[in-house]
Copies of this chain bind each other. A is one copy, B any other.
Amino acid sequence: MKRTLITNGTFITMDEQTPIVKGYMVVEGSRITYLGKEAPQPQEQFDEKIDGTGKLYMPGFVNTHGHAAMSLLRGYGDDMALQVWLQEKMWPMEGKFTSHDVRIGTMLSLLEMIKGGTTTFVDMYDHMNQVAEASVESGIRACLTRGVIGLCPREVQDAKLAEAIQFAKDWHGQADGRITAMMSPHGPYTCPPDYIERIVQAAHDLNLPMHTHMSETAREVQDNVDQYGLRPVAHLEKLGVFSRPTLVAHAVHLTDEEIAILKQYDVRVSHNPGSNLKLASGVARVPELLKAGVLVSLGTDGAASNNNLDMLEEIRLAALIHKGVTGDPVAVAAWDALKMGTLDGAKSIWLNDVGMLKAGMKADFIAMDMEQPHFYPRTNLISHVVYSASSRDVTDVCIDGRFVVRKGECLTMDEEKVKFEAQQCFERLTAG
């Protein structure tokens, strides 16, 4: 088992007891076995020693909602009304996606995410075998789910559900546990109630959590009321979704009662501020969710509605927009935003040994170059990361004890090939 020692490092641990440690970290195999001020003895026992001078180490980012393959549509349709964007731009193109497109689009996203410090991501899409295989190759940690849309004949519903079940059976726990699975009705507005109930049953049978879009737009909430007489939270509660551990994406439009229900069932919320702003969906009630004790994490959503997969940008948005919109300068503090993007992201997908630098935790961490001017003076490093830094400051990325990025270069993927193939896919998709 490989033993690595990092010396002279500065570590943001995400452990509230010791948020910042200057000193040493030891990685053995896939786990951190030591973090502290004192050098471990004897130093000869290490296979590799890394000088951490000038580097800021912290847990990798956990991106809790996205559709990686949609990076093929980055910039293809911006600044338009949601329905026009969906109906004229996204859906026709996505309808043409082959499994090859999904593989290449996912690779492009993985490259961007990994280089930018994301060490775990959630993905809900189609052709999920391609997504899982690309994830394994890249070295990333992934929580994957075949999102099913149920607005189709019963036999198509059946086939999709069977596919989702098979995917979960095939992949949950694979790649030394780096891959986990969830079950996903795409959303209450795209799945009939009985179909959602069948998906919940499958999740019970497989003992897996649920992931779904929920209350992203005001219109969707109103449509739910018109169609079912209930707002989405009560609707999903009624269908038994929350009887499973659940992660919902967006949750922009919530009443106080709905927040209380989410808390009651320990439903986790993936807040996607960049996507919600860009699509003009609104600003989620994050301060109220936090106050109620709901576990909130951060997601980029797909690159077509963001338009990048930069978790540090989501962390910054989460720290900034709620202050500006509520008028409360302490609405979401830097530490809280950083926690949403790391430790709470991991907890949100039931990973209890990810998201913190501490002996016993998985070695999922990043190093940032602290020698950029925006890291000076050295007042408050947590503040610097949240309000000043760039994901391009990330120089090294380690996932499950394996370095996948060093000196800014991705070691697990051929960057030139991925970009070239992504461009080819896009040109083929738009050619006809």
Contact = CB atoms under 8 A, between A and B. Distances in A.
Contacts of A415: 373
Contacts of A383: 75, 78-79, 307
A184 interface: no
A308 B371 contact: no
Given A274-B320, A373-B112, A75 B328 contact: no
Contacts of A325: 283, 325
Nearest to A420: B376
A74 interface: yes
Contact of A80 (B273, B330, B380): B330
A426 interface: yes
Contacts of A76: 377, 379-380
B321 A423 contact: no
Contact of A379 (B74, B115, B379, B419): B74
A324 B324 contact: no
B308 A388 contact: yes
Interface residues of A, number: 73
Contact of A392 (B282, B378, B392): B392
A306 B387 contact: yes
A106 to B, nearest CB: 12
A419 B376 contact: yes
A414 B375 CA distance: 16
Given A108-B376, A391-B390, A82 B329 contact: yes
A69 interface: no
Contacts of A334: 78-79
Q: How many copies does the complex hold?
A: 2
Interface in A58-114: 71-76, 78-82, 85, 108, 111-112
A387 B308 contact: yes
A282 to B, nearest CB: 6
Residue of A79, A81, A310 contacting most chain B CB atoms (<10 Å): A79
A129 B65 CA distance: 50
Contacts of A75: 377, 379-381, 383-384, 387-388
Contact of A72 (B71, B85, B377, B392): B377
A109 to B, nearest CB: 8
Given A379-B76, A388-B75, A280 B82 contact: no
Interface of A: 71-76, 78-82, 85, 108, 111-112, 115, 218, 273-274, 276-283, 303, 306-310, 317, 320-321, 323-331, 333-334, 371-374, 376-381, 383-384, 387-388, 390-393, 415, 418-419, 422-423, 425-427
21 contacts: A72-B377, A74-B374, A74-B384, A76-B380, A78-B380, A79-B333, A82-B329, A85-B329, A111-B373, A278-B320, A280-B327, A280-B331, A282-B324, A283-B325, A309-B374, A373-B419, A377-B426, A377-B427, A378-B426, A392-B392, A392-B393
